[in-house]
Structure 1
Amino acid sequence: MNMSKLTPDNKQLVLGTALWGWGIEREQAYQLLEQFLLSGGTMVDTAANYPINKRQEDFGLAVRWIADWVAHNGNSKLALTVKIGSTDNLGSPDVNLAPDDIDRASSILSGQFGSALSCVSIHWDNRSEDDVQGATIAETVEAMSRLERQGLGIGLSGIRHPEVYYKANPSLAQKWAIQVKENFKTHAARTAYEAWFPDAKYLAYGINLGGLKTEATKTNSSMELRNINIPHAFTEKLVEFINAPHEFEPRPTTLNELALAASFVNPALSGIVIGPRNTEQLDSTLGYWKLLQAQADKSKGQKIFNQLFEELPSD
């Protein structure tokens, strides 16, 4: 997938792998990947430190699984984004983002994935614009610029000071594919980036609040693994909308479909990263997405969901 084709008018679903090795076993992961590709999907997102389950022996497990799959399925249409920089999967802010680190990581990834490697993305960067760190960020951006000139897509995710990235090379402002946490509770990350990168490509993750369900949270669920708690009143309001009369079609019947619909009509988003736990969830998501592509009135939907956002209770 050419990252330049990723636009709000050509909104893409991206298969996420954050839970591969953390509630999703290898065979399940391959089933998800193969079913996604057979459905016509191409874009898959991973990170060098997935799964972030605080088990050091699992550092890089998702990348290794995908590399093994690619080695046996070389002719697939996979377009892989790999986020790099994090030095562990413990949730620490430590990164290796010097030019040599980036060049080494991208070289290894190119060797593992060949033409399947579509985009290399910076994953977490808390550095600021002081005399030392600002210069280091400029070097990071220059290394990413070289990758872009070589034909790779470039991305950002979890950047604390996007203004420093912009100032380091304004000519890249439209080139970045930026991943942001965006859902019914927040769009703060995108707002922070848009002040500097108004024309970048934005991909939302966490759209369904970590797997929010109307029923009680199940053991080993995504929400439990990530220790996510959503107030009951918030969930009630979303369920109320699903059951209330409204004019949006195709009508969402689950909270996941509601999140997909809101993301689909959001004109700021070029893609949505999904994280199904099993093939049944993937089937459901893909089926509803096709209905959205065929039936949804984006302009009308945007007005409907803007009103829903205004009515949701705050924390």
Structure 2
Amino acid sequence: MLINKLSPDEKQIFLGSAMWGRGVTKHDVFRMLDYYIESGETLIDHAVNYPINAIPEDYGLGLNWLSEWKALNSSSKIEVLVKIGSVNNLGTPDSDLSPRGIQQQFNFLSDKLEGSLSSIAIHWDNRISRDSSIEIAETLETVNDIADKHGLRIGISGIKSADLYGDYFNEHAIKPIVQVKENVITCDARKFYSKYFKDADYIAYGINLGGLREQGTSATAALRGIEHPDWVYDAFKAVKMDTSLRPKPESFYDISMYLAYCNPNLSGIIIGPKSKDQLSSLLQFWEALQNFNRSHDYRSLNQLIEKNMVC
């Protein structure tokens, strides 16, 4: 499976699904999935509670769409990483990470995805080490048993007790897939986890800062109440105007992919296109990046990277 080949030297791209049902229609989701698979990609990022839109009846809607698409395209190979644990789509960290809850969610996902589940990721575990060490150990043992039995990789996203998780992963020689919010502004999550994990594949989400655009705020950023500092716009505009860059970035999203591609700490990225056309543009640029010569002195790009040297 491609998910087993993740590494900083062979970065992979995941099709994100957080906005499915939250600004992205079922029709557009199906068109993107068709194009994504036709383009030779297979990795998809999901969560049991997408979309997180505070509409309870939409809990799991994105997963239902993916399951329906899979049923219509049974011969298509996809590898789905699913974040488990969340019990609602209200944006709160409420979760059920008990052994029974995890087993029930795994059984549900196995039925829904029919052999396409490649990784289960523990999502939003806010339990504190000193209060919940036994319960956390039970969670990890259950997930590890399931992963071993079914040939899955283990992932995490949003974990407070990284020390306990790190001890367990290191002791059992597990290389987790760790989802982190990482872009030109922040790498705090990866720096936090790296203190405890000897080895991990870091996958970045939010690389485009929630929808960075040259003029105004994107619909996605507005929906999430996201604002960006002025220097980000100035730096990104300078990179876009640099005629020496090859491939030439056509959008701020392209520049965000440049930064992620040049980041030696990342094994992959999650993209969140809203349409087939945007997905096509992103995949074409990602493919072009495979021929990018990092040894060249691209001043504008290097200056932008230096802005984030803290990472």
Scaled by the length of structure 1, what TM-score is found? 0.92
Aligned twin of 1:49: 49
Deviations for 1:34-86, whole angstroms, at most 9, x for unmatched residues?
11111011001110111111111111110111111112211111111111101
Give the aligned residue type for 1:153: R
In structure 2, list runs of 5 or more residues that go unmatched. Answer: none
Pair 299,118 (structure 1): closer, same or farther in 2 beyond 3 Å: farther
Deviates more, 1:229-238 or 1:150-159: 229-238
Deviations for 1:21-40, whole angstroms, at most 9, x for unmatched residues?
00001111111111111101
Task: Find the aligned partners of 1:287 and 1:2 in 2 and give their Cα distance.
Answer: 19
Offset at 1:173? 5.2
In structure 1, list runs of 5 or more residues that go unmatched. Answer: none
- What secondary structure does 1:8 align onto? coil
Q: What is the 5 A alignment of 1:1-315?
A: 1-131=1-131, 133-150=132-149, 151-172=151-172, 174-218=174-218, 221-244=219-242, 248-293=245-290, 295-300=291-296, 305=301, 307-311=303-307
Q: Deviation above 4 Å: which 4+ runs of structure 1? A: 299-306
Give the aligned residue type for 1:94: D
Task: Find the aligned partners of 1:234 and 1:5 in 2 and give their Cα distance.
Answer: 33
Task: Find the aligned partners of 2:175 and 2:87 in 1 and give their Cα distance.
Answer: 25
Deviations for 1:273-311, whole angstroms, at most 9, x for unmatched residues?
000011111111011111111x21245589975532434
Percent of aligned positions with the same letter in both sequences? 40
Pair 110,90 (structure 1): closer, same or farther in 2 beyond 3 Å: same
Give the aligned residue type for 1:291: A
Give the aligned residue type for 1:115: G
Give the aligned residue type for 1:113: L
Pair 251,116 (structure 1): closer, same or farther in 2 beyond 3 Å: same
Task: Find the aligned partners of 2:299 and 2:165 in 1 and give their Cα distance.
Answer: 33
Deviates more, 1:231-240 or 1:100-109: 231-240
- What secondary structure does 2:114 align onto? helix
Deviates more, 1:225-234 or 1:5-14: 225-234
- What secondary structure does 1:257 align onto? helix
Pair 282,172 (structure 1): closer, same or farther in 2 beyond 3 Å: farther
Task: Find the aligned partners of 1:192 and 1:301 in 2 and give their Cα distance.
Answer: 31
Offset at 1:253? 3.0
Deviates more, 1:143-152 or 1:296-305: 296-305
| Count of matched residue pairs | 309
Task: Find the aligned partners of 1:208 and 1:38 in 2 and give their Cα distance.
Answer: 25
Scaled by the length of structure 2, what TM-score is found? 0.93
Contact 2:3 2:79 in 1 (8 A): no
- What secondary structure does 2:9 align onto? helix
Offset at 1:147? 2.0
Task: Find the aligned partners of 2:36 and 2:134 in 1 and give their Cα distance.
Answer: 41
Contact 1:248 1:300 in 2 (8 A): no
